[in-house]
Amino acid sequence: MTLRQSLTGITCPIVTPFDESGVVDERALGDLLEYLLAGDIDGLFPCGTTGEFASLSRDERRRVTEFTVEQADGEVPVLAGAAATSVDDVLTAIEDAAAVGADAAVVTPPYFHTANAPAGNQQFFETIADESSLPLLLYNIPACTGQGIAPETVAALASRDDVLGLKDSSGDLEYFLETMRQAADADSDFLMLQGYDALLVPALRMGADGGVNALSNVAPEAYADLYETATGVRGAELQTAVADLFDACGEYGFAPATKTALEYHGVIPSAVVRPPLVSVPDDGQAGIERDVDGLVQSED
Amino acid sequence: MTLRQSLTGITCPIVTPFDESGVVDERALGDLLEYLLAGDIDGLFPCGTTGEFASLSRDERRRVTEFTVEQADGEVPVLAGAAATSVDDVLTAIEDAAAVGADAAVVTPPYFHTANAPAGNQQFFETIADESSLPLLLYNIPACTGQGIAPETVAALASRDDVLGLKDSSGDLEYFLETMRQAADADSDFLMLQGYDALLVPALRMGADGGVNALSNVAPEAYADLYETATGVRGAELQTAVADLFDACGEYGFAPATKTALEYHGVIPSAVVRPPLVSVPDDGQAGIERDVDGLVQSED
Amino acid sequence: MTLRQSLTGITCPIVTPFDESGVVDERALGDLLEYLLAGDIDGLFPCGTTGEFASLSRDERRRVTEFTVEQADGEVPVLAGAAATSVDDVLTAIEDAAAVGADAAVVTPPYFHTANAPAGNQQFFETIADESSLPLLLYNIPACTGQGIAPETVAALASRDDVLGLKDSSGDLEYFLETMRQAADADSDFLMLQGYDALLVPALRMGADGGVNALSNVAPEAYADLYETATGVRGAELQTAVADLFDACGEYGFAPATKTALEYHGVIPSAVVRPPLVSVPDDGQAGIERDVDGLVQSED
Amino acid sequence: MTLRQSLTGITCPIVTPFDESGVVDERALGDLLEYLLAGDIDGLFPCGTTGEFASLSRDERRRVTEFTVEQADGEVPVLAGAAATSVDDVLTAIEDAAAVGADAAVVTPPYFHTANAPAGNQQFFETIADESSLPLLLYNIPACTGQGIAPETVAALASRDDVLGLKDSSGDLEYFLETMRQAADADSDFLMLQGYDALLVPALRMGADGGVNALSNVAPEAYADLYETATGVRGAELQTAVADLFDACGEYGFAPATKTALEYHGVIPSAVVRPPLVSVPDDGQAGIERDVDGLVQSED
């Protein structure tokens, strides 16, 4: 099975558990990974947005990736987050990830200086791809980077063997479909992964290859089931079951809401996040707990 | 004269000159600094937005700051850009800057993860201020960070001795005035610096303490003159003289347009920028050259 | 068959043809209606956005609706656009439409003054529904009205017998699905119609009842076919065939692009629009012609 | 004194008082006009945004304008709001206003269909100006119309004798200054009026000719004083005194907040607004009352 084939299905963008003093908690991370692997997740993505990568030091990113590779133990591929604002820093993150055994690297457009012309992002990604020792997964998340990756840019990169696919977290299905259409012309194997949980079933029904979804941290079995049954009635029911908890992610932030759900569910011991993120306020906890109960019940 | 007193007037957010292969060009940087000091600039701000800080490595940022401190030679203060996405990385940048002799550090809110609640940015800045060995200048630039600093947050920080003031590059004068009003209640010495060139004269006429303006790279004397004469007719004329070149910054990006102007004006040998920024296209060069001629003529 | 049952499928928001001097051209309108009825369209919606209702006088709106009712001759229902900025003007438009035989009225939120609180739009719609002699179809088009209709507002109105359903032209599938979910709880018969052509197939695959789509003016048979085959491969192919022409609608405006397509296709004699709309420029015509050829070929 | 000369200073965009059943209350309108004229206001603008024009019928608009003209009795000019979505409806509103004695008409771009190309708004305004029997004041309020008037469009219209000037309510001072610069090249007498209360003093200090400000309904003397003293310390103090009440306008809407302030101040008997606007909630009243006290005290 090729790497692309392995990545059809659901990849989990794992949270990075911290202890009460804000230090990475490897024991909790180990418990989380065990929970996810038991839940039939198809891939692991440490150091993404939900993983608070931008609040981790270089050493922490490398170690979280290494630990994830060790725990995955070849069972599922590991895609290491390697986003940064400069070509050199992205390449450093990629080589760190390669050194500890990651299978691929996930890269966003730069997120302080946005490209002043359409060619800028393409040049940024091409320079990285030329130098990288790992294949790349493009990651579109304009809410965080200030600028999306144009469908034309994705299509231009899709023809390269070392660019596997796209994770799209824009929340814009028209963009997803247009990009899927243009990328398929360049490479029929290009992976289209839906990163916005509320659009997962519609994307799968339109031919997406899978999802990379924050809430698969909380309910991996429900997501695996959703992927298998997406085109049927069961898939729609599961999408509905996801909706309320996803609203909480929109309201309180992905890492705070997902960690709160995981703490309530007993997978990690603490929902601590690093600044500027703040924990879910007391009056938001009960709602999340109710949503978790609803989502986990839907797994049966 | 206190540091705050020194910073009333015009501070230049200096570009970082690269040679044709994209390497930092210290000889060009030296020429630029000599040009700015001869032009009566009141402060130097290396490693800001116009300085493409997010495309520089840690070593490059430290060296550019060190070189600027050496050239300034105590004549004017040096404010080192220290923006990053995590508390630890900001503190590392600040201590690097302190070690090479910078007078203060300039900090933005984090620019990938935005705060999920108002308290998040305040906590981010307070944690940094508590640990920093340099005083801080806050830097509001929502177009790049995705989220501005709320007036209430600025006011809460204004009462600290180690938070000198705010550079506002939002382009929103109502925000600037409201923040000035709230900060003055907390500390009447709090520095309010206008970072959006097209609003410099209105801000000065409303009581701003100065500006931090990309185009002072190109025409330092015009900006010094503008500051001195802001409330009179001459100030308005100079604001108008700035307008066309500022439009080009909006169209082509600050670093690309400013570097193109500096190359045409003979201050630096090359307008090279790093990806994702791309150089001003050929059909934009002539306009910038015309604007530079207009602005430089206005200096007399 | 109830009115709601009749409206499952594709309703055409018809353009209002003008002659070269900008006067409503009834002969051209007659030809268009004949073309649409022959193309198996399920409903007719005169005086909508694509119909340039906001550029028509009260008399013109009444007459265009009357003429449409006459031509439809009971074969398909006629939904008359009745949007206005005040309760009284909406009710006047509804009674005009009722007097000439329309089956229902389509209403947007007010589009100059937007509600200053969530309750405002609900109160606006309820006041209208209480007084209206026709059942209503809600119309969500935030790009034109400045404010969308909240899912909660739709759900509150869905329980009324005299509110048939929602046409959503937001382009936001997450909104559509969330609203469908909430409305279904209030009334399982509530009609959910997708008004954004590029999202028609995804919406149908998620359970939408039909579409109200500008480009069904140009290719009614293709849209009827798309509706019938939406969940299969053929539906996806037709969605792709629609995409390029829909892009032109985004670029040149719905009425200008649709009228240009209809003129090229020989259905109406002139693509004239009223100010502030301007005709598609010469360099845009060829692309639209190519897209029309592609779309019409897909009908076979 | 020419009309343009009369309009330098402060023009009041008057609210339209309603009684408890939502009917226009002429007695209250008379009291308001008496209050404003006693407060040294320089012009009256009935049927604007704050006047809820879009919720008034044609007859109501004509009558409110007529009543204003009668009460003004030649003391100050009356500018009648004549915004609508079609050329014909704008012209109808203008001729209604002319028939009852208004001095000029205020026109916005169309507010449902926005122009699909830059030339569209210019053509819309030119067609109106060619046919209008009254001179025009352009009105830029993109938050309500969805699209602003480009500086180039204003400049093109500024050379006409029948286009007096611009009211800008965008809240964007850079736009205001750029437009002032371009319009002055076309006609040095072109009136530039600041419609966003929080930017009134900065605009006046940059050379604006006056303001058209919602809160002059509440405190006409303070606004007259502000205009006279704008460039001095007193002007800045008054701008500050306005700020809190203006924030309430932003939070609760212009008509609801201004009417609430007028009811508290004893000028009109009721703060009733028409849907979709809703009255200021109970927990917002106290703040507005405090702000009114502060603003009125500043008048002495």
Q: pLDDT tens, C97-145?
A: 999 999 999 999 999 989 999 899 999 999 999 999 999 999 999 999 9
pLDDT tens profile C232-291: 999 999 999 999 999 999 999 999 999 999 999 999 999 999 999 999 999 999 999 999
Answer for the pair A59, A26: CB distance below 8 angstroms, yes or no.
no
Q: What is the pLDDT of residues A107-130, one digit of tens each?
A: 999 999 899 998 999 999 999 999
For residue D297, what pLDDT band results from cuts at 50, 70 and 90?
confident
Q: Which of A56, A40, A39, A43 is nearest to A14 (CA)?
A: A43
- pLDDT single digits (tens) C31-56: 999 999 999 999 999 999 999 999 99
The pLDDT score that the predictor gives to residue B170 is 97
pLDDT score of B299: 77
Pairs across A and C, CB distance < 8 A: 44
Chains within contact range of chain B (3+ C-beta pairs < 8 Å): A, D
Chain B partners within 8 Å of D180 (Cβ): none
Backbone angles phi, psi at B207, to 5 degrees: 110, 10
pLDDT in tens, D223-241: 999 999 999 999 999 999 9
Angstroms from D205 CA to nearest CA on chain B: 7
CB contact (8 A) between residue B116 and residue A253: yes
Q: Which is it for strands B104-107 and B79-81: parallel, antiparallel or unpaired?
A: parallel
Dihedral over alpha carbons B110, B112, B118, B123 (to 10 degrees): -40
* Chain-centre distance for alpha carbon C191: 14
For an interface test with B, the pick among D169, D174, D200 (most B C-beta atoms closer than 10 Å) comes out as D174
For chain D, helix (H) and strand (E) counts, in that order, are 13, 8
Which tens digits make up the pLDDT trace of D127-184? 999 999 999 999 999 999 999 999 999 999 999 999 999 999 999 999 999 999 999 9
pLDDT number for residue D300 = 62
Inter-chain CB proximity C205 and A207 less than 8 Å = no
Task: Give the pLDDT score at A297.
Answer: 86
> Would residue B139 show up in a list of annotated catalytic residues for this protein?
yes
Residue C1 has pLDDT above 90, yes or no: no
Structural domains of chain C sorted by starting position, each given as residue range(s) with its CATH number in brackets: 3-229 (3.20.20.70)
- The dihedral over CA atoms of D150, D155, D157, D160, expressed in degrees to the nearest 10, equals 170
- Residue B74 is classified by DSSP as T
Angle at D141 between CA D138 and CA D143, to 5 degrees: 165
Beta strands in chain C (DSSP E): 9-13, 43-45, 79-81, 104-107, 136-140, 163-168, 191-194, 210-212
Q: Which residue has the tokens 């670093």?
A: B255
Q: Measure CB to CB from residue B111 to each of A89, A111, A278 and give the nearest one.
A: A111
In the predicted structure, residue C300 carries a pLDDT above the cut 70? no
B157: chain A residues, CB-CB within 8 Å: none
Instruction: Give the residue ranges of the annotated binding site of A for pyruvate.
Output: 50, 212
Told to judge if D259 belongs to the known catalytic residues of this protein, a careful annotator would answer no
Residue A83 banded pLDDT, cuts 50, 70, 90: very high
- Predicted local confidence at residue B1, as pLDDT: 83
Residues in A closer than 8 angstroms to C178, CB to CB, are 198, 243
> Do chain B and C touch: 3 or more Cβ pairs under 8 angstroms?
no
Nearest to A173 among C202, C236, C240 (CB): C202
- Please provide the distance, in angstroms rounded to a whole number, between the alpha carbons at the two ends of chain B: 29
Above 90 in pLDDT, residue A94? yes
C46's CB contacts (< 8 A; 6+ apart) are C14, C16, C64, C65, C68, C78, C80, C81
Helix, strand, or coil here: D9? strand
- Give the pLDDT of chain B (300 residues) as one tens digit per residue: 899 999 999 999 999 999 999 999 999 999 999 999 999 999 999 999 999 999 999 999 999 999 999 999 999 999 999 999 999 999 999 999 999 999 999 999 999 989 999 899 999 999 999 999 999 999 999 999 999 999 999 999 999 999 999 999 999 999 999 999 999 999 989 999 999 999 999 999 999 999 999 999 999 999 999 999 999 999 999 999 999 999 999 999 999 999 999 999 999 999 999 999 999 999 999 999 999 999 988 876
d(CA A272, CA A279): 7
Q: Cβ A240–C207 below 8 Å, yes or no?
A: no
Q: Which residue of C has its CA nearest to A199?
A: C174
Q: What is the DSSP string of C117-174?
A: SHHHHHHHHHHHHHH-SS-EEEEE-HHHHSS---HHHHHHHHTSTTEEEEEE-SS-HH
Mean predicted confidence (pLDDT) in D92-120: 96
pLDDT score, position B173? 97
The CA-CA-CA angle for residues D203, D205, D211, to 5°, reads: 40
Q: Average pLDDT in the D250-257 region? A: 95
Q: Which residues of B touch A82 (CB under 8 A)?
A: none
Mutate to test the interface with D, among C277, C280, C285 (most CBs of D within 10 A): C277
Q: Which positions of A make up the binding site?
A: 50, 212
| Active-site pick, B35, B111, B167, B264 | B167
Contacts of A275 in chain B (CB under 8 A): 87, 110, 115, 120, 123-124, 127
On average, the pLDDT of chain A sits at: 96
Q: A83 vs B112: CB contact, 8 Å cut-off?
A: yes
Q: What are the start-end ranges of the E strands in chain D? A: 9-13, 43-45, 79-81, 104-107, 136-140, 163-168, 191-194, 210-212
Give me the amino acid identity at A210: G
Q: How many whole angstroms separate alpha carbon A255 and alpha carbon B14?
A: 36
Is the pLDDT reported for residue A285 higher than 90?
A: yes
pLDDT value of residue A1: 83
- Section A172-189 average pLDDT: 95
Residue B300's pLDDT is 62
CB C215 within 8 A of CB C258: yes
Chains A and D touch (3+ CB pairs under 8 A): no
CA-CA distance, D287 to A171, in Å (whole number)? 38
